[in-house]
Structure 1
Amino acid sequence: MALEINDQTFKNEVIDSNEPVLVDFWAEWCGPCRSLSPVIDELSEEFKGKLKVVKVDIDANQNTPVEYGIRNIPTLLFFKDGQLVDKVVGAQPKEALVEKIQSIIK
């Protein structure tokens, strides 16, 4: 399962992480977010120990989405060594996300 984080824990869980991080920005009312959610949880399990997977509810946490210019959801941000290295907007097939993750965790 992906870890739910908030504005207060973002720096510790993402920027200061020793492993690459996939951040899923989502909201309860977002249909594509709900359809992507099981895929995000699967990726969390499949890449355990190689990639941290976290979720940020944009309705409950507004500072972090603004800081990273999140305008549409779902938006996935990929961080490595505390730096934003990639971004995906909209629901994507699992295979495309796996390819992207594999290129980041090398």
Structure 2
Amino acid sequence: MFKHKYIITVESDTPPQICLGDKIHGATVIALETEQYPDFVDLAWLTKRFPMSRKTLSQKLELFNVGNSGKKLYDPNIVIPFLKLDIKNRRGRPRKN
């Protein structure tokens, strides 16, 4: 039988108390990864992580721009939580009841 890979993402100020080889509810921890955000991110960096066009991201994040009008830079600690709350999976026109 094939083994399946499950990915769990945890955000915290301190690292979690998990070690390689630990067993969590019958599963074994085989890898731990961390991702550090740069100080400021641009639209290209954000389009890789969120399924929106550059134009849409630029319009939604206009208030959070810390760069100038030519080079738009954003603080990832503010922008990423805002975009995660704002993602909607609506497509097409609304239903007519």
- TM-score, normalised to structure 1, is 0.30
**Greater helix proportion:** 1
Rg larger in structure? 2
**Greater strand proportion:** 1
- TM-score, normalised to structure 2, is 0.32
